[in-house]
Amino acid sequence: MKIALMPNLSKQNAHTYTVRIIKRLLELQCEIFLYAKYRDYFDIQAIHFYEDFSDMVRECDAVITIGGDGTIIHAAKHAAAAAKPILGINLGRIGFVAGLEIDELDKLEYLISGDYKVENRMLLKVTVHTGAGEREIYALNDAVVSRGSLSRMVDLSVSYTGSKVTQYRADGLIVSTPTGSTAYSLSAGGPVIEPEMRCMVLTPICAHSLFSRSVIFGPDEKLSISASTRDGEGNAYLTVDGETSVLLRERDVIDILPAAHSVRLIKLKNKGFYEILNEKLSERRI
């Protein structure tokens, strides 16, 4: 089996754990692929280093990340584009998206034997329409429209399938996938959604309203958001999965709809979503 490894070496002990994982996978007769930027960190002759990241993902049978949820989310979009399944090994605090904890490496043999489940997770395609053109970004967790550096609320207009839904005056809005419903959206009072469902969850952030609730939209149509500020000088931002930020100006429009492809998450354990959710809550990780 050909495995592309994507470690986050900024995590504590990540290098040590990655070496341990590489050795275990080699014992299981796997071929190991790594991006060329890690060449100086791993002096193991059996590793195949790739100069082109996309080529590495296309050539592998599965992707394994070593880090937190952020590492998985970043790598998952590349894996989804190449229709490759991805397994996250958690070194972070929460690990909702991960399929294994770092103390469960004995279960890696299930990956090689094919004894695992694949969960299909919805991606959002986020298109920003600006005066300079269009930009497409994909989200596994969420797209957030929020105020900028000035501490003032933003006026946000929301429409669905071309019809106006409502207008908010708030610090921002979160549009999350079911996967992202246990992330920022949950902190803002949004609902928990089973991760393999297909829907979009709109949750306001500190809305100036007596009746501010999340709204769940179906997966087949387009959600559109525009933001305006009092000065019209662009004091609002779009942030996608906490890693991509776009400054929004007056009359810019954000269109959000389910992407044509999905993330295929590998799960090596028989635990259900609610069992994992309760574990994370009881451990006070969230």
Instruction: Please state, in angstroms and rounded to a whole number, the distance separating the CA atoms of residues 246 and 276.
Output: 34
In sequence order, what E strands does 8-141 have? 31-35, 48-50, 62-67, 86-90, 100-101, 117-130, 133-139
Classify each residue of 133-148 as buried b or exposed e, where b means 16 or more C-beta atoms within 10 Å of its C-beta.
eeeebbbbbbbbbbbe
Question: Is there a binding annotation on residue 90?
Answer: no
In sign, the C-alpha dihedral spanning 188, 225, 171, 73 is positive
Question: Is there a binding annotation on residue 282?
Answer: no
Question: Is there a binding annotation on residue 237?
Answer: no
Question: Is there a binding annotation on residue 198?
Answer: no
Q: Specify whether 220 is catalytic.
A: no
- Rounded to the nearest angstrom, the gap between the alpha carbon of residue 41 and the centroid of all alpha carbons in its chain is 26
Could you say which of 43, 69, 103, 231 is catalytic? 69
Question: Is there a binding annotation on residue 17?
Answer: no
Question: Is there a binding annotation on residue 182?
Answer: yes
The amino acid sitting at 42 is F
Helices in the chain by DSSP H: which ranges? 14-27, 53-59, 69-81, 108-113, 184-187, 273-282
Closest CA to 242 of 148, 141, 156, 146: 141
Question: Is there a binding annotation on residue 238?
Answer: no
Question: Is there a binding annotation on residue 74?
Answer: yes
Question: Is there a binding annotation on residue 278?
Answer: no
Question: Is there a binding annotation on residue 141?
Answer: yes
- Catalytically active residues are 69
Annotated binding-site residue numbers:
69-70, 74, 141-142, 152, 169, 171, 182-187
Annotated binding-site residue numbers for NAD(+):
69-70, 74, 141-142, 152, 169, 171, 182-187
